[in-house]
Amino acid sequence: MMDETLGKLEQRLQHAPGMDPNQREELLELVRELRREVQGLSQTHQDEANSIAGFAQLSAFEATKERPNPRLVKISLEGLKAAVEQFESSHPRLVRVVNHISQMLANLGI
């Protein structure tokens, strides 16, 4: 399920209209890094890994809509950040990747 969710996220970013090509590539690289980090986490915390992947997909969906709703983008990004909070000490790289993705999605001109 997690791989499918992250795959949908990658597809969404690849086909997002009007996205700067450099931002797109940077976000896609971050998603690939997120995939690696979440796969490691899923060995011991499957539900949490699925939540992180789901919130990442939802955040990208909201941020890349033709007319994003800033409130929904904010809520989805807050959910993503909340999903990784508990792993700040045990998986700091995961938290950094999620924070970077969140920041980039928040800055897409909304």
Q: What is the C-alpha radius of gyration for the chain, rounded to an integer number of angstroms? A: 13
Residue 109: per-residue pLDDT: 58
pLDDT at position 110 over 60:
no
Neighbours of 32 (CB within 10 A): 13
Domain ranges across the chain: 2-12+23-106
Region 11-20: mean pLDDT is 87
CA distance 65 to 60: 8
Contact call for residues 44 and 69 (beta carbons, < 8 A): no
Share of the chain above pLDDT 90, in %: 72
Average pLDDT of the residues of the chain: 91
Per-residue pLDDT of 86-107, as tens digits, reads: 999 999 999 999 999 999 988 8
Per residue in 25-47, pLDDT (tens digit) is 999 999 999 999 999 999 999 99
DSSP state letters, 7-61 = HHHHHHHHT-TT--HHHHHHHHHHHHHHHHHHHHHHTT-HHHHHHHHHHHHHHHH
Token pair, residue 57, equals 């997909």
